Amino acid sequence: MKRLIFAFLLISATLAGGQENLRPTLETTYSAWRESMIRRDPAAWQRVTAEHRRVEVRNRIVSEKQPFPATVFKLPTPPPSIQGLRFLEAKKNGATAKASYFGKIDFGVGGEPTDNLLVLSFVHGSGGWLYDRADFVNLAALPAVRKELGEGNLKYLKETPEAQPSGQVPPTPIAAPPAKYVAKVYVFSPGREVQVQINKISRHRFANAKEAEVVIGGAVDGPNEVQFTVKKLAGATGKEVMTIRVYLISELAGVKPVKAFEYQIAAGEKPESVATKMFNVDASTVAKLAGG
In a domain, residue 170? The reply is: no
In a domain, residue 173? The reply is: no
Q: How sure is the predictor about 20, in pLDDT bands with cuts at 50, 70 and 90?
A: low
pLDDT digits 0-9 by tens, 102-135: 999 998 776 788 999 999 999 999 889 999 999 9
Say whether pLDDT at 6 is over 80.
no
DSSP 104: E
DSSP 10: H
Which CATH number goes with the domain that contains 108?
3.10.450
Residue 68 Cα distances to 17, 35, 42, 71, 173, angstroms: 41, 19, 10, 6, 17
Domain membership of residue 231 as a residue range: 182-289
Say whether pLDDT at 173 is over 80.
yes
pLDDT digits 0-9 by tens, 206-237: 999 999 999 999 999 999 999 999 999 999 99
Are residue 202 and residue 151 in the same domain, yes or no? no
Are residue 128 and residue 8 in the same domain, yes or no? yes
Are residue 105 and residue 235 in the same domain, yes or no? no
What single-letter amino acid sits at 266? A
Are residue 153 and residue 38 in the same domain, yes or no? yes
DSSP 71: G
d(C-alpha 177, C-alpha 216), whole Å: 9
Are residue 155 and residue 24 in the same domain, yes or no? yes
What single-letter amino acid sits at 24? P
The total of structural domains in the chain comes to 2
Sequence-distant (6+) residues with CB within 8 A of 50 are 122, 123, 125, 130, 131, 132, 169
Q: How sure is the predictor about 152, in pLDDT bands with cuts at 50, 70 and 90?
A: very high
d(C-alpha 38, C-alpha 27), whole Å: 16
d(C-alpha 165, C-alpha 31), whole Å: 20
Say whether pLDDT at 54 is over 50.
yes
In a domain, residue 61? The reply is: yes
DSSP 258: E
In a domain, residue 177? The reply is: no
Are residue 252 and residue 121 in the same domain, yes or no? no
pLDDT digits 0-9 by tens, 261-289: 999 999 999 999 999 999 999 999 999 99
Are residue 211 and residue 142 in the same domain, yes or no? no
In a domain, residue 141? The reply is: yes
Are residue 155 and residue 38 in the same domain, yes or no? yes
| Coil, helix or strand at residue 201 | coil
d(C-alpha 20, C-alpha 33), whole Å: 21
Cα distance between the two ends of the chain? 85
Are residue 102 and residue 13 in the same domain, yes or no? yes
Are residue 147 and residue 206 in the same domain, yes or no? no
Are residue 151 and residue 189 in the same domain, yes or no? no
Are residue 150 and residue 33 in the same domain, yes or no? yes
